[in-house]
Amino acid sequence: MKEALIGIAGLGTVGKGTLDLLTANKVKIETGLDVSIKVKGLAEADQNKFKGLKSLEDCSLYSDAFELLDDPSINIAVELIGGETVAKSFVKQAVKKKKHVVTANKALLAKHGRELFELARENGVLIKYEASIGGGIPIVKALQEGLAANNITFVAGIINGTTNYILSEMEKRTLSFDSALNEAKELGYAELDPSLDIDGFDTAHKISLLASLAFKKYFVFENIFVRGIRGINLTDVEYAKKFGFRIKLMAFTRPVGKQFEITVEPTLIPSKILIAHVDGAMNAVSVSGDFVGHTLYYGQGAGAFPTASAVASDIMDIIRLSSHKTGNFETDTGQSVEKGSLMVGGGVIAREDIISGHYLRLKVCDEPDLSTKITSIFIEYNVKIERFFQESDSDGSISLVLLTGACALRNINQSLERLGQLKRLKEQPVVLRVETEA
d(CA 141, CA 147): 9
Q: Are 384 and 404 in contact (CB under 8 A)?
A: yes
Inter-axis angle of helices 161-173 and 234-242, to 10 degrees? 70
149 in Cβ contact with 121 (< 8 Å): no
State residue 173 phi and psi, 5-degree precision: -120, 10
State phi, psi for 225 to the nearest 5 degrees. -80, 125
Residue 206 designated active-site:
yes
Which residue is catalytic, options 206, 217, 258, 373?
Answer: 206
Asked if 158 and 248 count as a contact pair (C-beta separation under 8 A), the reply is yes
User: Looking only at Cα atoms, what is the longest distance across the chain?
Assistant: 85
Long-range contacts of range 386-392, CB-CB < 8 Å, 24 or more positions apart? Answer: 386/357, 387/243, 389/242, 392/366
Q: What is the torsion angle, in degrees rounded to the nearest 10, for the CA atoms of residue 319, residue 324, residue 326 and residue 331?
A: -70
Pairing of strands 293-300, 100-103: unpaired
* Single-letter code of the amino acid located at 220: V
The dihedral built from the CA positions of residue 379, 383, 385 and 391, taken in this order, carries a sign that is: negative
Do 121 and 113 touch, CB atoms closer than 8 A?
Answer: no
Residue 314 makes CB contacts below 8 A (sequence gap 6+) with 102, 128, 129, 130, 131
Tell me which residues are annotated as active site: 206
